[in-house]
Amino acid sequence: MFILCRARHRLTTSPIQFSRPRRPYRRLALSLLIATPMIAACSKHNPTKPQTFTLSGRVRLVGTLTTNTGDSVGVQRAEDADSVLIYLYQAASLKDSTRTTAGGYAFTGLTGGSYSVAANLWGGIGDTVSVTNLTADAPLDTLVLLSSATMPAFPNPFSTTYVLFAITATSIVELSATKPSGMRVKTMISPRTLPAGIHEYHWDGRDDASNPLPSGLYWVLFKAGADYRARLVAKS
């Protein structure tokens, strides 16, 4: 800030000229009076931005490798699934959502506080991880989506596969197949009343339009009343 001042001189007729002593503090006070509101205005227009952080993590899908006869031969783990829907909560409020890329996800621009991150597969089948008092970028524990032990599918991987499920009473049953993103690709059993007992569905790996589905991961989803189940399968 530049302050321009004009010098003032007093003319007298007396041969002796008197000069008033300088008072530099007056100029300083004037400068402060002018500068203070300007500084305050600048502060209002340039507030300090709050510090923000990133939460990141991964998702794992888990199933069972099985033979043509239904024997288990190992654990199926998928660490790089795309488009799995992930939710971010702050307290009980949904704050944001995103989808995985190669199994990973991130939420950016978060302020301090407590957060929960969740993946919900179907009817409460899912996983949640939480962080309290976020004060720095934080990697979270892996979210794990597990297959239900009470609905096997064999073989897996498959070109065609058999899905088995048992119900203890007559129930209205739904059965479908989705991509990891949640997109439905096959309606196997529309809501239909089935008697108690063991049931089997043969899936030929085709969609609702009878087109062969591409190789990859799929979830087989079952619902009977409040009974929800899921089974991860891989089409070869």
**What is the rounded CA–CA span in Å between residue 202 and residue 81?**
25
pLDDT at 7: 38
pLDDT of residue 27 exceeding 90: no
User: What type of residue is 159?
Assistant: S
The bridge status of strand 93-99 relative to strand 53-66 is: unpaired
Among all chains, which residue has been given the structure tokens 């288990």?
Answer: 72
Tell me the pLDDT band of 49, cut-offs 50, 70 and 90.
Answer: confident
> Which domains does the chain show, CATH number per domain?
53-146 (2.60.40.10), 153-235 (2.60.40.4070)
Is the pLDDT reported for residue 26 higher than 90? no
* Whole-number average pLDDT of the chain: 87
- CA 44, 45, 51: angle at the middle one, nearest 5? 90
Band (46; pLDDT cuts 50, 70, 90): low
**Angle, vertex CA 33, rays to CA 32 and CA 34, nearest 5:** 90
Provide, rounded to the nearest whole percent, the portion of the chain with pLDDT above 70: 80
pLDDT tens, position by position, 194-232: 999 999 999 999 999 999 999 999 999 999 999 999 999
Task: Give the residue carrying structure tokens 């197949």.
Answer: 177
State the pLDDT at residue 48. Answer: 73
Q: Which pTM value belongs to this model?
A: 0.79
pLDDT at position 50: 80
Say if residue 30's pLDDT is above 60.
no
User: What pLDDT is stored for residue 194 in this prediction?
Assistant: 98
**Does residue 218 contact residue 185 with C-beta atoms inside 8 Å?**
yes
Contact yes or no for 149/166 (Cβ under 8 A): no
Q: How far apart are CA 185 and CA 140, in angstroms?
A: 31
CA 39 to chain centre: 41
Average pLDDT of the residues in 130-150: 96
pLDDT given for residue 5 in this prediction: 37
- By DSSP bridging, strand 115-122 and strand 125-131 are antiparallel
Q: Name the pairing type of β-strands 138-139 and 53-66.
A: parallel
